[in-house]
């Protein structure tokens, strides 16, 4: 397990070397077009609600350091999901993020033998690097690679469900492009993962132990500077015999309430979660970005 966080440590060193302060360059106060930094995904990376994009946290461009913080709530039919987190973007090139996730089983916890309102919690440490292109200003789409180290805090329970591990790393690559003349954004993400329900039910399982490649996508239409609508899709692995997973979908509206605050609401369909089907509900998020 000691080698997993070393990926993040290496990127932190890279950030310190390439930061504006190290280069002797002044910081700037913003510069990105409204909404082009995206919102925050469930695991803390910048992009859409369900999937990361090839964008970097915060409102700063290549001459500054950006910052974002978020609160997300996803109440579905039988469960509640909440997360809070922060992300920092360096020169619109490197992003480091952290999210703390809580999955409340509500009354279903008692039916599963875990106790009413039993909570699964997880910490996610992420790193992303935009390796080529630009979302808006380059003919080449923005291309980013990233990793998310996830530590589930319910080791005994997730192993009882059939998970092989209580921690793991997701690796992903995203390609994103805003076609400015039509105000349309398209994103595609490929993710290599062992995570069961984001990792909240552990990693790997009795049905499938190894990592699998999962595809994710987003499309959005920016109606005006302040308002965007769109939809997302996220394919899910199926590692546990006891808890089948379904692919995820959402349809969202994102509103810039000002230069530094974005509110997002979505209808989301998460399918079957922890043996209970039909988990549909809302995705609600407030994000502050600087």
Tens digit of each residue's pLDDT (9 = 90 or more) over 232-286: 999 999 999 998 999 999 999 999 999 999 999 999 999 999 989 999 999 999 9
Q: Across all residues in the chain, what is the average pLDDT?
A: 91
The pLDDT confidence band at residue 7, using thresholds 50, 70 and 90, is: very low
- Contact yes or no for 77/278 (Cβ under 8 A): yes
d(CA 168, CA 148): 8
What pLDDT is recorded for position 31? 83
Predicted confidence (pLDDT) at residue 21 exceeds the cutoff of 70: no
Domain boundaries, the chain: 6-289
CB-neighbour burial class of residue 226 (10 A; exposed 0-12, middle 13-18, buried 19+):
middle
Nearest to 101 by CA among 133, 128, 74: 74
The pLDDT confidence band at residue 30, using thresholds 50, 70 and 90, is: low
Which residue has better confidence, 236 or 29?
A: 236
Spatial neighbors of 113 by CB under 8 A, at least 6 apart, are none
Predicted confidence (pLDDT) at residue 78 exceeds the cutoff of 50: yes
The pTM score is 0.88
Q: Are strands 280-289 and 65-75 parallel, antiparallel or unpaired?
A: antiparallel
Q: What is the number of alpha carbons within 13 Å of residue 231 lying toward its C-beta? A: 6
Q: How far is CA 183 from CA 27, 55, 71, 120, in A?
A: 29, 16, 27, 39
What pLDDT is recorded for position 261? 97
Tens digit of each residue's pLDDT (9 = 90 or more) over 182-222: 999 999 999 999 999 999 999 999 999 999 999 999 999 99
d(CA 75, CA 80): 4
Q: Which residues lie across from 98 on neighbouring strands?
A: 86, 125
What pLDDT is recorded for position 9? 46
Q: Among the CATH numbers 3.40.640.10, 1.10.3330.10, 1.25.40.10, 2.40.160.40, which is that of 6-289?
A: 2.40.160.40
């Amino acid at each position: 397990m000691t080698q997993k966080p070393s990926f993040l440590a290496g990127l932190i060193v890279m950030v310190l070397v390439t930061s504006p302060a190290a280069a002797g360059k002044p910081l700037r106060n913003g510069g990105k077009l409204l909404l082009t930094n995206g919102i925050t995904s469930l695991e803390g990376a910048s992009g859409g609600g369900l999937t990361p994009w090839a964008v970097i946290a915060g409102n700063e461009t290549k001459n500054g350091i950006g910052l974002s913080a978020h609160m997300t709530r996803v109440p579905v039919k039988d469960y509640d999901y909440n997360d809070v987190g922060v992300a920092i973007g360096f020169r619109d090139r490197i992003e480091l993020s952290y999210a703390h996730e809580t999955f409340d089983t509500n009354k279903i916890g008692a039916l599963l033998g875990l106790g009413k309102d039993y909570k699964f919690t997880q910490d996610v440490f992420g790193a992303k690097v935009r390796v080529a292109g630009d979302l808006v200003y380059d003919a080449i789409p923005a291309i980013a690679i990233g990793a998310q180290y996830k530590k589930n805090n319910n080791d005994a329970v997730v192993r009882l469900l059939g998970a092989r591990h209580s921690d793991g790393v997701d690796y992903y690559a995203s390609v994103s492009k805003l076609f400015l003349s039509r105000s349309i954004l398209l994103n595609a993400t490929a993710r290599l993962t062992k995570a069961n329900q984001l990792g909240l039910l552990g990693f790997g399982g009795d049905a499938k132990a190894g990592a699998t490649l999962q595809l994710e996508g987003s499309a959005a239409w920016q109606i005006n500077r302040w308002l965007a609508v769109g939809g997302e899709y996220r394919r899910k692995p199926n590692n546990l015999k006891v808890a089948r997973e379904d692919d995820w979908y959402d349809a969202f509206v994102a509103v810039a309430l000002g230069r530094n605050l974005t509110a997002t609401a979505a209808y989301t369909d998460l399918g079957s979660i922890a043996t209970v089907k039909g988990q549909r509900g809302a995705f609600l998020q407030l994000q502050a970005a600087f």
